[in-house]
């Protein structure tokens, strides 16, 4: 590894440590969207642009004579962070747009690192000498996120981050009751957003703990033990970890936790013996509704025929 090449986090730490080699650098080149917004990771890491500009401004403060280049595809300083972008432009930090199909290349020459980039605005290739090369790497979900999702029976989005129960109505809750999310486990975000989301999650937890009793839905699944063969098919498909197998004198039998059950009916559909039924949506009730609906439909058709 080359000590002159580092991630944005490492660069930030060395700035905080007052590293002389970093402070005295004549030229710093930052490359954005390294490992993100591609086929493997199509999402934007959201914090990279703002972090890069913040570090560039700090570097400019420590060494006003340094040339700082930020090579970007799109600058995404959302919200009030746009002010940082304007401050960086005023401070003399250079922004160079590159095309995703023609990313910058890095070459270690005798005189130092040289970054070659095709400027999308000037329509020409530029060679930039870099004493320090900073890569804004993608923010990835934790490797154990998939295991946690299985343990707590919660969903992940297509990028591997935990998915909230509802974007607008339940933004800090996961699909399983009593499980909440905040921070980058949800998706990449800045500290103020993390704090706000953590406060929201804490508020939801307190609201839950303040209740003496928890009201559950009436439409939950129930098991008829006499017909249950303990195959475990219902346990495998339950997305809320509401079903478990318990030992009885007649072998293993499925049991449903009504607090966790959401009544989606998947277990009812896969049960080979029909031992699990959904309250208020039993086969007899559903068949009666269907027969009534078709009877009304036949009366309507006959009525139309009479009018003709």
Interior angle at CA 236, CA 278 and CA 209, nearest 5: 70
Q: Where are the domains of the chain?
A: 5-137, 145-209, 221-283
* Residues belonging to the chain: 308
What angle separates helix 8-16 from helix 48-62, to the nearest 10 degrees?
A: 30
Strand arrangement of the beta sheet that strand 67-72 belongs to: 5-7, 132-137, 27-34, 67-72, 94-97
Q: What is the distance, to the nearest Å, from the Cα of residue 62 to the centroid of all Cα atoms in its chain?
A: 36
Tens digit of each residue's pLDDT (9 = 90 or more) over 64-85? 999 999 999 999 999 899 999 9
Across 88-108, average pLDDT: 96
Check for a shared fold between 5-137 and 221-283: no
Which pLDDT belongs to residue 130? Answer: 96
CATH classification code of 221-283: 3.30.70.20
Would you say residue 296 has pLDDT above 80? no
Which pLDDT belongs to residue 304? Answer: 62
Q: What is the pTM of this model?
A: 0.78
Question: How many other C-beta atoms lie within 10 A of the C-beta of residue 17?
Answer: 9
Tens digit of each residue's pLDDT (9 = 90 or more) over 26-50? 999 999 999 999 999 999 999 999 9
Per the model's pLDDT, the better-predicted residue between 35 and 281 turns out to be: 35
Would you say residue 16 has pLDDT above 90? yes
Q: What topology is assigned to 5-137 in CATH?
A: FAD/NAD(P)-binding domain (3.50.50)
Please count the helices (runs of H) and the strands (runs of E) in the chain: 9, 12
Sign, Cα dihedral of 245, 248, 250, 256: negative
Residue spans of alpha helices (H) in the chain: 8-16, 20-23, 48-62, 82-90, 145-152, 191-209, 233-237, 266-270, 283-307
Which pLDDT belongs to residue 151? Answer: 87
Would you say residue 219 has pLDDT above 90? no
């Amino acid at each position: 590894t080359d000590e002159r090449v580092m991630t944005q986090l490492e660069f930030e730490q060395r700035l905080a440590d007052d590293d002389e080699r970093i402070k005295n650098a004549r030229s710093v080149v930052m490359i954005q969207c390294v490992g993100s917004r591609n086929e493997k990771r199509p999402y934007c890491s959201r914090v990279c642009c703002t972090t890069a500009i913040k570090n560039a401004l700090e570097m400019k403060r420590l060494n006003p004579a340094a040339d700082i280049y930020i090579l970007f595809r799109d600058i995404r300083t959302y919200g009030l962070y746009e002010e940082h972008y304007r401050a960086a432009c005023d401070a003399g930090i250079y922004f160079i747009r590159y095309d995703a199909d023609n990313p910058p290349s890095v070459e270690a020459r005798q005189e130092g690192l040289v970054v070659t980039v095709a400027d999308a605005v000037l329509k020409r290739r530029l060679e930039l000498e870099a004493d320090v090369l900073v890569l804004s790497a993608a923010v990835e979900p934790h490797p154990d996120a998939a295991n946690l999702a299985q343990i707590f029976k919660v969903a992940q989005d297509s990028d591997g981050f935990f998915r909230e129960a509802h974007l607008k109505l339940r933004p800090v809750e996961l699909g399983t009751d009593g499980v909440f999310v905040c921070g980058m486990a949800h998706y990449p975000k800045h500290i103020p957003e993390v704090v706000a989301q953590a406060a929201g999650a804490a508020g939801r937890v307190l609201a839950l703990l303040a209740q003496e009793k928890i009201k559950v839905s009436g439409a939950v699944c129930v098991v008829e033990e006499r017909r249950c063969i303990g195959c475990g098919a219902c346990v495998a498909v339950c997305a809320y970890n509401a079903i478990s197998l318990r030992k009885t004198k007649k072998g293993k039998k499925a049991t449903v936790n009504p607090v966790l059950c959401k009544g989606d009916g998947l277990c009812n559909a896969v049960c080979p013996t029909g031992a699990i039924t959904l309250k208020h949506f039993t086969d007899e009730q559903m068949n009666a509704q269907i027969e009534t609906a078709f009877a009304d439909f036949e009366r309507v058709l006959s009525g139309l025929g009479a009018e003709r």
